[in-house]
Structure 1
Amino acid sequence: MSQQEQLVIAPVKASEQMEFTAADAVVKELVRAGVEVAFGIVSIHNMPIYDAILRDGSIHLVCSRGESGAANMADGYARATGKLGVVITSTGTGAGNAAGSLIESWAAGVPVLHLTGEVASPYLGTGRGYIHECKDQLSIMEGSCKKAMRLRRPEQAAAVIRQAIKEAAAAPSGPVSVEIPIDFQSAIIPDYSLEEVNVSVQENSTIAYLPKEAITKISQARRPVIWAGGGVISSGASKELQELAERIGAAVITSQSGKGSIPEDHPQCIGHFASFELTKDLVKKSDLLISIGVRLRGNETSNWKIEVPENHISIDADLQAMNRNYAAAIGLAGDAKLILRKVNEELAKESLSTSEDYLEEVLSVRKELRLQLRATLGPYEKIADAMRKLLPRDTVLVRDVTVQANVWGSRLFEIYQPRTSIHASGGGIGQGLPTAIGAQMGCKDRQVVLLAGDGGFMVNVGEMATAVQESLPIIVILFDDAGYGVLRNIQDAAYGRQVAVDLVSPDFVLLAQSIGFASAKIGSPEEFASELEKAMDRRKPSMIVVDMEAVGPMAKPFGGPPGAAEAFKPKKL
């Protein structure tokens, strides 16, 4: 029997099984939470869970080629859909392989549930050499995730998994790891009813009270700036954000994670240009900053050197985010959607008048920033324009850490909807491909496009086979410069020389074709546009290899984030 035939064997329902196990309880909780897809690799230390998933038949299992890739897939799935991402790994090395990718989920605040096995409970912490044993797996997971938990009694499986799912989703959201000893997974337990009697929060809930001072500051501002982050998207507050911006005539800056919180063709949207001098000057001259669900990260604030006004209202669901990077005159802790809804209700009672001169200034800054960036691109300007012209507005753009993604993929390629922009928040290379696969699994009727460089792409290149096995119409745009391009440029700027950045790569076209991708190499923007159209039409796994030597150099080399080269030059501390 072929592998393809094995995959369509009708599952046996758990109700037909003679005994109910802790693994069944785990799956029951996943189904209760609405989980439809899980990513991972089967192992002797998670096989009971896999078998329980098979018997239940409700969850589609995606077989990755590595635990690192599986965790990224769960991450991409969660970001693109707003649902819980689930990854299942083995014990020890398997769990450790997932740790780096879970750090990315933590950095981006993505709700991911990581289920991992553990050695049999009598051998935990003994160091006796039980297969797959790890010295302190729980601590590894604790350091990689928002929280790590261990199932200590099989009978508590349902409660522990439910709590883990709640933890992953609760603000600030993030990955939660649950380790389950292998003997517990197959332990027979009662199938009992676990009901919660909490009062649910309805969609039309609102905030009863906001400080009058906050409404006064907002209503009196003449040069307001809104800085929108990923918290806007995770709370579903894009409509409320746009209403507020239009009501008070504010410029809107977005973080990387906040891209898509407001359509980037909106005349008040500055976009992801916070570290540019024109934007810094606009913020410095503003009389009010409203930061919403944004971390104000170092690389997006020139390491916190951007000057913000004293009138700073911070809105965040995470209490620990208050005053962490910039002092706020007023902190509003809670759900951004509910808070913004209340703010808009209160402002509707006020007499507001937006400044037309300021709106013209914002529009001018918006246009000038894009012209400045375009002037650095050389032939890649046409590639960026071809992508935005040809791809649908709801395309999900995933970006690995590479020159083209950093320079224009995160700025000039306009994003119009929430959850259609995904990037590596933690800055780790090579996570783009599996993240894009996860996003495409969650959005099968839409186009997912990955921007990647040859260096990072090789980290998880084996996951191309996962995309083919799942028949995903993902399009990979691979910029090939035979090395780590970002680091080359930083080294040149910092030292005037390069080390450990040149790479020998395979023939990417042949590699892709051997796995099952349609693939072609291009050497000009015109060829690129033609191949992109073909890839979109075929709706099958596709790769376009951009020969950067043939296309030519950028008009201005990318030297890394602001201040990157200077930071690496020798200096006294």
Structure 2
Amino acid sequence: MMSEQKQMEFTTADAVVKELVRAGVEIAFGIVSIHNMPIYDAILREGSIHLVCSRGESGAANMGDGYARATGKLGVVITSTGTGAGNAAGSLIEAWAAGVPVLHLTGEVASPYLGTGRGYIHECKDQLSIMEGASKKAIRLRRPEQAAAVVRQAIQEAFAYPSGPVTLEIPIDFQSAIIPNHSIEEIKTIASVNQTIPSVPEEVVLKIKNASRPVIWAGGGVITSRASKELQKLAETIGAAVVTSQSGKGSIPEDHPQCIGHFAANELTKILIKNADLLISVGVRFRGNETSNWKVTVPEEHISIDADWLAVNRNYEATNSLVGDAKQILQAINHGVSKLSIIPNPAYLDEVQSVREELRAQLRATLGPYEQILDGMRKVLPRNTILVRDVTVQANVWGSRLFEIYEPRTSIHASGGGIGQGLPTAIGAQMADKNRPVVLMAGDGGFMVNVGEMATAAQEKLPMIIVLFDDAGYGVLRNIQSAAYGRQVAVDLLSPDFVLLAQSMGFDASRIGSPAEFVTELEKAVTTKNPTMIVVDMEAVGPMAKPFGGPPGAAEAFKPKKL
């Protein structure tokens, strides 16, 4: 009788789970602990959320990140206190850098011991500050009765522009506290029909009409706001070249003749942008490594579209800043230009096509035998394949530029530049849809950082394909060190037999030494839909025609010099 009564009692943990379900959460990633066990038990009793048991908190956060990027939904991560929360911090920084909506639920020591330093198990000196530094925002639940409201606030904050990870700390004694099961209703003002499509200043529309050499720079905000169709329509209407950031890949199909793609820092693209008479930037951050540390020269006329007020004039000054949802603003612009007679400049379109082709030809000339691997991947893999890229030479050189992306949310990369996050991120993306191919490009050095998450992929029976480029070390750092110092240090690594390791986890696995072998194994993996690892023996395949030395100027930056 007592156990039945306890089951009917509503606790803070139940309130948390109720809000997750209300938000449409279907999957959560994490590790169970004595400081989150009430939440796990509440998820079990509620029954609708699938729990993915990661092998580390860092991997769990990456999984939530990958799931959110692949779906546009909330990624949910559950960790323990102190060390557990700290383990997740690096991966939360990646989600912050990429602007991904993630809710990180972590425990805390019992409320009477917060900040006392008395040595309560899992105690951290100032966990909230650590999480504040790693997340968009960190919140501590102060009263158990406020759990539902605080969870709802945290979820809204994760999605609010600029979106990002939000950490919510819940002291362990609060999690089991019995609280009222009450209803919360948010009352929103319904906009009138006339306000559905906002208006934009006539000045903006006329600037767009009068431009003969327009460039659109599309960032991740296009994908976040689901504005890809509107972006493509505008580009085609005005005859604009479309440059994309790394995060903006897929905002326009990369086989479109007006798509320059992720080549902003290339000299040919710099010239094209410098000679443009109008730049329209949409949801783009203008990151340092994508602009040669802001050495790309943009035209005087610059229309900036961004949902973040703090993006206004942050990296490049704009003549017109339009702050709001990119989809709605682009709809308004398209509505405005549709009333005007605009004929794209045919000579300029030819120039854009020429630049597009030359950029790709120049980069292809550096690949050597890896050009055949690139072409084999694009030929074999379906158009809707999600390509996840860890930080590795092949991903940086051609995986992020020459492997064409055709749809939003099918390109996932490490925005913050940290190695080793590719595997768990790919697991999260595959959990979003087990019927869609997910391919991970990784290097042997980075892969070992989270190699234990292969067990998570095996446990979840995920049909993911891992393409592991094995050069027995940190390849890009070797090249940078050689160019900067003429010597190398701490870049050679001893790795396991990756084929045996993968097979021990239930993966199909093979080691290939030629592009032809690679294509055969990839075709087999796509057909069987079994979890697969293809290890590319880079010594056997051979070197690239031109070694990759990192971002432009990387080697020069590390040479001794006077400040």
- The answer to whether the superposition gives a TM-score over 0.5 is yes
2:249 corresponds to 1:259: yes
Q: How does 1:55-74 map to 2 (within 5 A)?
A: 55-74=45-64
Specify which of 335, 356, 365 is matched with residue 355 of structure 2: 365
CA distance in 2, matches of 1:562, 1:220: 35
1:181-233 superposed Cα distances (whole Å, 9 cap, x missing partner): 00000000010011111135699963432111111111100000000000000
Rounded Cα–Cα distance in structure 2 between residues aligned with 1:182 and 1:407: 47
- Equivalent positions of 1:390-409 (< 5 A) are 390-409=380-399
Match of 1:345 in 2: 335
Matched, 1:388 2:388: no
Measured in 2, the distance between the counterparts of 1:538 and 1:91 equals 41
Equivalent residues, number: 560
Q: State the match for 1:217 in structure 2.
A: 207
Name the Cα RMSD after superposition.
Answer: 1.3
Letter in 2 for 1:351: S
Mark the CA change 1:78 to 1:319 in structure 2 (over 3 Å): closer, same or farther: same
Q: Which residue of 2 aligns with 1:9?
A: none
**Structure-2 separation of matches of 1:379 and 1:268:** 28
- 1:166-185 deviation line (CA, Å, top 9, x unaligned): 00000000000000000000
Q: In 1, are the aligned partners of 2:372 and 2:515 still within 8 Å (CA)?
A: yes
Q: Secondary structure at the match of 1:49?
A: helix
The aligned amino acid for 2:104 is H
Aligned match for 1:521, one of 496, 511, 516: 511
**What is the letter of the counterpart of residue 344 of structure 1?**
N
- Distance across 1 between alignment mates of 2:489 and 2:356: 38
Match in the other structure for 2:522: 532
CA distance in 1, matches of 2:297, 2:286: 12
1:558 aligns with one of 541, 548, 553: 548
* Aligned residue in 1 for 2:134: 144
Secondary structure of the corresponding residue to residue 8 of structure 2: coil
The corresponding residue for 2:224 is 234
Give the Cα–Cα distance (whole angstroms) in 1 for the partners of residues 315 and 28 of structure 2: 36
1:375 aligns with 2:365: yes
Q: 2:283·2:307 contact (CA, 8 Å) conserved in 1? A: yes
Cα pair distance change 1:139/1:528, threshold 3 Å? same
Equivalents in 2 of 1:332, 1:117: separation in Å?
A: 40
Aligned equivalent of 1:428, options 415, 418, 429 = 418
Partner letter of residue 379 of structure 2? K
Determine helix, strand or coil for the equivalent of 1:315: strand
CA distance in 1, matches of 2:433, 2:310: 33
Question: Per-residue CA shift, 1:427-457, capped at 9, x if unaligned?
Answer: 0000000000000000211000000000000
The separation in 1 between residues aligned to 2:176 and 2:196, in whole angstroms, is 45
Match of 1:82 among 65, 69, 72: 72
1:333 to 323, 326, 329: 323
Task: State the Cα deviation string for residues 334-393 of structure 1 (Å, max 9, x = none).
Answer: 000000000000001112111100000000000010000000000000000000000000
> Match for residue 322 of structure 1?
312
Equivalent residues of 1:206, 1:341 under 8 A apart: no
- The Cα of 1:320 is off from its aligned counterpart by 0.3
In 1, the alpha carbon distance for the partners of 2:371 and 2:556 equals 28
Gaps of 5+ in 2: none
Q: Percent identity?
A: 80
**Shift, 1:16, TM fit:** 9.0
> Could you say what secondary structure the match of 2:466 adopts?
strand
Query: Kindly tell me: are residues 16 and 235 of structure 1, through their superposed partners in 2, closer, same or farther at Cα, counting changes over 3 Å?
Result: farther
Q: Counterpart in 1 of 2:403?
A: 413
Give the conservation status (yes or no) of the 8 Å contact 1:87–1:114: yes
Partner of 2:491: 501
Q: Is the Cα–Cα contact under 8 Å of residues 11 and 178 in structure 2 kept in the other structure?
A: yes
Tell me, yes or no, if structure 1 residue 468 matches structure 2 residue 458: yes
Residue identity opposite 1:548 in structure 2: M
The whole-number CA distance in structure 1 between the counterparts of 2:149 and 2:192 is 24
Counterpart position of 1:125: 115
**Alignment check: 8 A CA contact 1:252 1:268 kept:** yes
1:543 alignment partner AA: M
Residue 152 (structure 2) pairs with residue 162 (structure 1)? yes
Aligned-partner SS, 2:230: helix
- Is 1:35 the counterpart of 2:34 in the alignment? no
Deviation at 1:537, TM superposition (A): 1.5
- Equivalent in 72, 80, 92 of residue 102 of structure 1: 92
* Distance across 1 between alignment mates of 2:172 and 2:545: 57
Write the distance in 2 (CA, Å) between the matches of 1:376 and 1:170.
42
| TM-score, normalised by the number of residues in structure 1 | 0.97
Instruction: Report SS of the residue matched to 1:473.
Output: coil
